[in-house]
């Protein structure tokens, strides 16, 4: 018997889908901003920070980059309550995304810093700037400009990976898709539309990040 497609079966669940899209956008906004900020901080600690902090930072980066995001999420949401740290679904999802993106961002930014000509560090030192001031005012912006495409791609990857937060009942887009499919049993239609939405979100996010990069790293006088 031939399968009869019926995309109209999803129309009545549009508010559910829109809510899921909103939650996914909130997650990537919070996790993206906080994750990149954490990554920049860790990159500074690894390159310019106190020696005694570099070991813990490296351990954090290796832990996040070499364990599944889903396990990290489960540890935060299900594991931490065992030691008295409890949080809601959205808080746990945002924290997991921040820590995960922070680790990858740290290595990406560190690569940009490593590509900085040594003369720029020496020029900052000759102006009696501290290492923190040199990093902030001289090194950081050019380093971010070099790695912005890679950093943007990582943010998109984390946004797509956020689909697993539905496993802790965070009501994102994938949660909405599973909910709708459990009600109308139109699996093909539901997940086809959900795939298209994720594709659209990825394209829009990538273009938005490209525009942000063009604006942040615009050459003087351009």
In angstroms, the CA 139 to CA 110 distance is: 11
CA atoms within 13 A on the CB side of 27: 35
In angstroms, the CA 212 to CA 222 distance is: 15
Percent above pLDDT 70 for the chain: 93
Which pLDDT score is estimated for 6?
A: 87
Of 1.10.3720.10, 3.30.70.260, 3.40.190.10, 3.90.78.10, the CATH number of 29-170 is 1.10.3720.10
Which pLDDT score is estimated for 117?
A: 73
In angstroms, the CA 27 to CA 170 distance is: 10
The 10s digit of each residue's pLDDT in 115-154 is 877 776 667 767 767 777 777 777 788 889 899 999 999 9
Q: Is the pLDDT of residue 221 over 80?
A: no
pTM, full prediction = 0.91
Which pLDDT score is estimated for 219?
A: 64
In angstroms, the CA 13 to CA 22 distance is: 14
- Give the residue-averaged pLDDT of 143-169: 94
Q: Is the pLDDT of residue 38 over 80?
A: yes
In angstroms, the CA 201 to CA 32 distance is: 14
Locate 171 and state its tokens: 């009501």
The 10s digit of each residue's pLDDT in 86-112 is 999 999 999 999 999 999 999 999 998
Q: Which residues of 119-129 are buried (b: 16+ CB within 10 A; e: fewer)?
A: eebeebeeeeb
Q: Is the pLDDT of residue 56 over 80?
A: yes
Q: Could you tell me the CA-to-CA distances from 211 to 57, 122, 203, 215 in Å, in that order?
A: 31, 32, 12, 6
User: Which of helix, strand or coil describes residue 48?
Assistant: coil
Check the CA dihedral 33-36-40-41 and report its sign: positive
The domain ranges of the chain are 29-170
| DSSP 8-state code for residue 163 | G
CA atoms within 13 A on the CB side of 122: 3
């Amino acid at each position: 018997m031939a399968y009869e497609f019926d995309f109209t079966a999803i129309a009545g669940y549009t508010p559910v889908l829109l809510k899921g899209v909103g939650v996914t956008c909130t997650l990537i906004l919070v996790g993206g901003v906080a994750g990149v900020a954490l990554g920049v901080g860790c990159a500074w600690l690894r390159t310019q920070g106190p020696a005694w902090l570099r070991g813990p930072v490296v351990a954090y980066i290796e832990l996040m980059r070499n364990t599944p995001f889903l396990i990290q999420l489960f540890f935060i949401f299900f594991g931490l309550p065992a030691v008295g740290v409890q949080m809601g679904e959205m808080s746990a999802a945002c924290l997991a995304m921040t820590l995960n993106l922070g680790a990858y961002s740290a290595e990406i930014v560190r690569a940009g810093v490593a590509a900085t000509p040594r003369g720029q560090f020496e020029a900052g030192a000759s102006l009696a700037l501290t290492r923190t001031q040199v990093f902030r005012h001289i090194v950081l912006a050019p380093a971010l400009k070099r790695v912005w495409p890679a950093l943007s791609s990582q943010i998109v990857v984390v946004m797509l990976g956020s689909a697993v937060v539905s496993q802790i009942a965070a009501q994102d887009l994938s949660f909405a898709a599973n909910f709708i499919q459990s009600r109308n049993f139109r699996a093909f239609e539901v997940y086809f539309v959900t795939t298209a939405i994720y594709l659209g979100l990825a394209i829009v996010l990538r273009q938005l990040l490209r525009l942000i990069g063009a604006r942040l790293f615009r050459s003087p006088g351009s």
